[in-house]
């Protein structure tokens, strides 16, 4: 695989980052994941805009222009022959003497690599739907910044696996925030309900696209917090993310939703999203 590190394209074995990198020592870094279907990048501008916002929130200098970033994405997709897959991008504050205070004149580290995911858009899970468990949301309070502090979501994924489920929905004061790496939705009497934007959740790029398509298709959308109890009584549920698009959820904490199969709204939104993206 060819990867990109600080301005250079290199074979992955030759790509290195300092042990003093603040991404490694402090999780002082931000990232984006952009999907590729049929060799085409999905929603690059949305991801680039969110990256710029994350950097701003952390007062981290941006080492690359949007045009150059797009060129690197395209070069890696082509060099690695990615038909279906993902481009991962990470920017950290770079190497500095270990100190909690930000260094004064940091040189950010920028790394990009691709992951081939053949058949990404034909994930068989979309036919059967996912099972989720609920766990307390114990992440930090600025989940709107896409940082690389992903240990709690990683623990959540392991708790889900141990329980025989596919993912975990996190709750705060009884209300669902989001999945470990995706936004969460329920559908009740035809209305799509998903948490409003704020610091409690990541502002999903797929979320923005899916809500736009839903409104264009005259579906009713409510952006508000919903409780776990409300979710268990919903007609259907689903998640969205760059790596899953729209994925039905059929079970929460062992409670089947509706008849326990992917619901019509989730199926329709997945179809619309993939049609619009191809």
- Footprint of ligand PDD on this chain (CB under 6 A)? 33, 178, 181-183, 202, 204-207, 240-243
Pull the structure tokens for residue 22: 């603040």
Q: Look at the chain and count its residues.
A: 278
39 by DSSP, 3-state: which? coil
Closest to ligand PDD by CB, 95 vs 168, is 168
Least distance in Å: CB of 49 to ligand PDD? Answer: 11
Rg (the chain; Cα; Å): 19
In the Cβ-directed half-sphere of 127, how many Cα atoms lie within 13 Å?
Answer: 4
Closest to ligand PDD by CB, 134 vs 241, is 241
Least distance in Å: CB of 181 to ligand PDD? Answer: 4
Task: Evaluate whether 246 touches 270 at the Cβ level (below 8 Å).
Answer: yes
Closest to ligand PDD by CB, 28 vs 106, is 28
Enzyme catalytic residues: 146
Least distance in Å: CB of 101 to ligand PDD? Answer: 27
List beta partners, residue 247: 239
CA distance 208 to 276: 14
């Amino acid at each position: 695989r060819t990867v990109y590190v600080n301005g250079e394209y290199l074979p992955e074995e030759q790509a290195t980052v300092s042990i003093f990198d603040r991404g490694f020592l402090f999780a002082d870094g931000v990232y984006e994941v952009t999907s590729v279907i049929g060799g085409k990048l999905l929603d690059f501008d949305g991801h680039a805009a969110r990256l710029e916002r994350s950097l701003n929130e952390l007062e981290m200098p941006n080492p690359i222009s949007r045009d150059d970033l797009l060129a690197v994405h395209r070069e890696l997709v082509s060099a690695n022959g990615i038909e279906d897959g993902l481009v991962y991008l990470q920017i950290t504050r770079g190497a500095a003497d270990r100190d909690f205070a930000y260094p004064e004149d940091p040189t950010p580290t920028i790394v990009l690599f691709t992951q081939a995911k053949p058949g990404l858009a034909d994930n068989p899970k979309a036919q059967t739907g996912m099972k989720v468990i609920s766990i307390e949301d114990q992440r930090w309070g600025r989940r709107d910044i896409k940082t690389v502090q992903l240990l709690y979501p990683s623990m959540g994924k392991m708790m889900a696996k141990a329980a025989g489920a596919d993912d975990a929905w996190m709750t705060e004061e009884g209300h669902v925030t989001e999945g470990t790496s995706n936004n969460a939705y329920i559908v009740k009497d035809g209305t799509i309900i998903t948490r409003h934007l704020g610091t409690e959740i990541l502002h999903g790029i797929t979320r923005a696209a899916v809500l736009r398509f839903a409104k264009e298709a005259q579906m009713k959308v409510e952006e508000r917090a919903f409780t776990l109890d409300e979710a268990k009584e919903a007609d259907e549920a689903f998640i969205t993310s760059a790596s899953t698009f729209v994925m039905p959820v059929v079970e929460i904490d062992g409670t089947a939703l509706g008849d326990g199969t992917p619901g019509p709204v989730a199926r329709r939104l997945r179809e619309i999203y993939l049609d619009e993206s191809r």
